[in-house]
Structure 1
Amino acid sequence: MGFASINVSVITLAKSFNLPYLSAYLNSLGASYTNGANFASAGATIRFPSPIIPASGGYSPFYLDVQYQQFMQFKDRSQIIRKQGGKFAKLMPKEDYFRKALYTFDIGHNDLGAGFFSNMSIEEVKATVPDIVNRFSIYVKNIYEVGGRSFWIHSTGPIGCLAYILTGFPSAEKDSAGCAKQHNEVARYFNYKLKEAVFQLRKDFPSAAFTYVDVYSVKYSLFSEPKKYGFELPLITCCGYGGKYNYSDAAGCGETITVNNTKMVVGSCDNPSVRVDWDGAHYTEAANKFVFDRISTGAFSDPPIPLNMACHRNV
């Protein structure tokens, strides 16, 4: 079961187990959910977002509370459908699957971004982190209460290395990799509080398995040592147009724009397989694979267990 602001980790995770990609909860009738469900939504936050799409710069209305409510609907309705029988019953998970499932979370990044772009100071955004993490813990506890026992929880990434932050805050102090230093400091503080919360969850629910995954370190290595891993131009958007970082929120990937009285579609760079930043806010498929290949080994997890052992209680 995946809860996230983006679903790349959920998709890659399923593939690593040789399972079909997880169907989105909101898929049309007829989708198969026998291997789980994906509740992720691009632009999702933990707290109620402001503004919401389609407002300029808006975030998904499917924030974590909505994702959780959808999960509860799915849990109940899937069993009703199974009991009714018929052709749709075989597309639903068995009741005991919910206890055996791995619940994955990759969310929080957009809460920080929303704060940065709402005229809050760095310190003010940082001050919101404890509440954001506390709200996250509540939903994990709620899923435990209805049977969840295995949780795979990602830290947030180095938000200050992404083009939408670097473009939005051009005067931000940069670190040696060229990333916005203070914005990354807030991300690291979020991860510190998140790791604390995971430790507390372990104490509160000793019969469950909670794995904290340090995604930040892996992602940051793509910006600090790109050549070492076969990447280039890590701060420059692959699919974008305009400015120092080839990014503008007025010329998003796939949009049609007018340049020198000529219409053009904002398209991909020539070789996305060696690039890190896809569209200014998301990573390329190659970068996501790089990250997943490393975190799935358990080398960046606490406890240091591989993904295929994440459904076992942490010792």
Structure 2
Amino acid sequence: MPMRITDAEEEEGLYPINEKTIKIKGSLRIIIMVMIVGVVGLLLAHDSINFATLRETKDLSIKQTNAGCQFPAIFNFGDSNSDTGTESAAFGRLPLPFGQTFFGKPSGRRCDGRLIIDFIAERLRMPYLSAYLDSIGSNFRHGSNFASSGSSIMEMPCTNQLLDLGTQLRQFQQFKQRIAESHHQGGNWLYLRNFLPRRQDFSKALYIIDSGQNDLYYALKWKTEKQVKANIPNIIDHIGLVIETLYQEGARIFWIHNTGPIGCLPIMVKNNPPKHGNSDQNGCLVSYNELAKDFNSHLLDKIIKLRTQIQDALIIYVDIYSAKYSLINQAKKLGFMDPLQSCCEPLKGGILLNEIENKRDNVIESHGSCCSNPSEYIAWDSIHYTEAANQWVANFIMSGSFSDPPIAVTEAACANQTRGTQNLKVEEKQRNARLGSFLN
């Protein structure tokens, strides 16, 4: 059995150490040191390669995500400019000629065809939004529409309209809560999967608010222009609270429309013929449009302030006013008739209060004749736009050229996702710096 020489025995000289032994031990030490240095070098190189690989993988994953990011749902709030069926479901069906151009039947829209919200849904490759209150044939898998004709931002009891923006917000909160309850209680699996949004969709959805026109419209009927202007900050504060509440409910991407040139609505010009010096080159009421501009200026200021308070949200301000006025200003050049003429005049039910008074057998009557070709007109019924006008405006605003920041609606989901990766990129740079320092 071979004997092991211990360190103690060697030190005590029990076994002699000759020159050859010393050379062998020295060579072994050198070999061991070389091996250690090589292993450490390989490990460091391996770590460096892993770091580079991780970085490349992360960059690739971000590019792939940006290429495929999209909204799972849309939640819309507003008035008749984006109502796809709330009014019809709650107060009586809008009859033909509403809906005649595109749908060929009553569609619940105050238009001959599609609204701006419909064109946005098409651009995002999503189905048209079902109205929250419509119980027949509705599918909320990709969102819901809470907009209601006659709605305003502030409560206005004297207008007999019940579904103001605050009420729509409460409807959304109930909608979201009941979906959560259904998932928790294990309801009908097929129904939950095919007809309702997933719980995680609420934080990834696009939230659109298109409201404010009626706040000015109603107020101008009863108040002076000076009084209306003085109340604008209160209206804007209210819409700010709605945005903050939606944020608390999980909303992170907002698409906020300002209000259009109310002084160019045929009904406003007809009911309030402009006095000398109060008419622009298109015949619009200058003072009314100035009120709309003041409203929009306060709205933009509020949005800028909100951006500093909720920095992980993307709030896009959409300049509907400029898009619509550009259309009006170029009407004849673009092949439209006089922008102050409407296709249908008059249609009963232009105002919700009158609609309720003119019901017969639960159907709102439609009076008056309509033009044979609505696509030649900007105004449909003296208050609302035709499908052709809505499509023109939608194409402009969806491109982002009339938005602050200038982000196309199709890129909004990617833009917010990019904002969400900024902190990750900062952390990555810090890790790279630490690694470089270690290697040096």
> Same fold by TM (over 0.5)?
yes
2:251 is the counterpart of 1:148? yes
Deviation at 1:23, TM superposition (A): 1.1
Alpha-carbon distance, 1:129 to partner: 0.6
Matched, 1:221 2:326: yes
State the Cα distance separating 1:30 from its structure 2 match: 5.9
Instruction: Find out whether 1:177 has 2:282 as its counterpart.
Output: yes
> Which residue matches 1:267?
369
1:22-65 deviation per Cα after TM superposition (whole angstroms, max 9, x unaligned): 11111216621110110000111000014233xxxxxx310001
Retained in 2: the 8 A contact 1:50–1:114? no
Q: Contact 1:82–1:92 at 8 Å: present in 2 too?
A: no
CA contact (8 A) 2:266 2:340 kept: yes
| Residue among 70, 73, 77 paired with 2:178 | 77
Count of matched residue positions in the alignment of Structure 1 and Structure 2: 294
Residue number in structure 2 paired with 1:285: 387
Q: 1:128 aligns with which of 231, 234, 256?
A: 231
Q: Residues 30 and 88 of structure 1 are in contact (CA less than 8 Å); yes or no, is this contact kept in structure 2?
A: no
CA distance in 2, matches of 1:9, 1:76: 28
1:116 and 2:220 are equivalent in the alignment: yes
- TM-aligned CA deviation for residue 309 of structure 1: 1.5
Q: Distance in 2 between matches of 1:23 and 1:82?
A: 21
| Alignment partners' CA distance in 1, 2:372 and 2:252 | 44
Partner of 1:51, secondary structure, is: helix
- Which amino acid counterpart does residue 219 of structure 2 have in structure 1? G
Instruction: Find the partner of 2:146 among 31, 34, 39.
Output: 39
Contact 1:81–1:92 (CA under 8 A) maintained in structure 2 = no
Name the CA distance, whole Å, in 2 between partners of 1:280 and 1:94: 40
Give the whole-Å Cα distance in 2 for the aligned partners of 1:265 and 1:104.
33
Distance in 2, Cα, partners of 1:309 & 1:229: 28
C-alpha distance in structure 1 between counterparts of 2:374 and 2:257, whole Å = 25
Matches within 5 A, 1:1-315: 1-6=75-80, 7=82, 8-28=115-135, 31-53=138-160, 60-83=161-184, 84-86=186-188, 87-90=190-193, 91-118=195-222, 120-172=223-275, 173-241=278-346, 265-311=367-413, 312-313=415-416
- Rounded to whole Å, the distance in 2 between the matches of 1:80 and 1:31 is 20
2:346 touches 2:381 (CA, 8 Å); kept in 1? no
> Bigger shift: 221-230 or 264-273?
264-273
Residue 229 of structure 1: SS of its match in structure 2? coil
* In 2, Cα distance between equivalents of 1:143 and 1:194: 17
Aligned counterparts of 2:299 and 2:226: Cα–Cα separation in 1: 18
Q: Secondary structure at the match of 1:182?
A: helix
Question: Does the Cα contact within 8 Å between 1:39 and 1:70 map onto a contact in 2?
Answer: yes
CA distance in 2 between partners of 1:241 and 1:70 (Å): 33
- Give the distance between the partners of 2:237 and 2:217, measured in 1 at CA: 18
Q: Which has the larger radius of gyration?
A: 2
Distance 2:142 2:387 in 1: 23
In structure 2, stretches of 5+ residues that fail to align are: 1-74, 83-114, 359-365, 420-440
Aligned-partner Cα distance in 2 for 1:45–1:145: 22
Q: One-letter code of the match for 1:196?
A: D
Deviations 1:197-246 (A, max 9, x none): 1111111111010100111011012222212222111101111149xxxx
Mapped partners of 2:210, 2:116: distance in 1: 8
Shift of 1:164: 1.5
SS of the residue 2:410 aligns to: helix
Identity percentage of aligned residues:
38
Does structure 1 retain, via aligned residues, the 8 Å contact 2:341–2:379? yes
CA distance in 1, matches of 2:404, 2:208: 15
1:175-214 Cα shifts (integer Å, max 9, x gaps): 1110011000000000000011111111111101010011
Structure 1: unaligned runs, 5 residues or longer: 54-59, 243-247, 257-263
Where does residue 57 of structure 1 map in the other structure?
Answer: none
Deviation digits for residues 49-92 of structure 1, max 9, x if unmatched? 14233xxxxxx310001000000000011222234321432211
State the SS of the aligned residue for 2:344: coil
Structure number with higher helix proportion = 2
The residue that corresponds to 1:260 in the other structure is: none
Look up the SS of the partner of 2:199 in the other structure.
coil
Question: For 1:105, what is the secondary structure of its paired residue?
Answer: strand
- Residue identity opposite 2:329 in structure 1: S
CA offsets 1:273-314 (integer angstroms, 9 cap, x no match): 010011111111100000000110001111111111123338
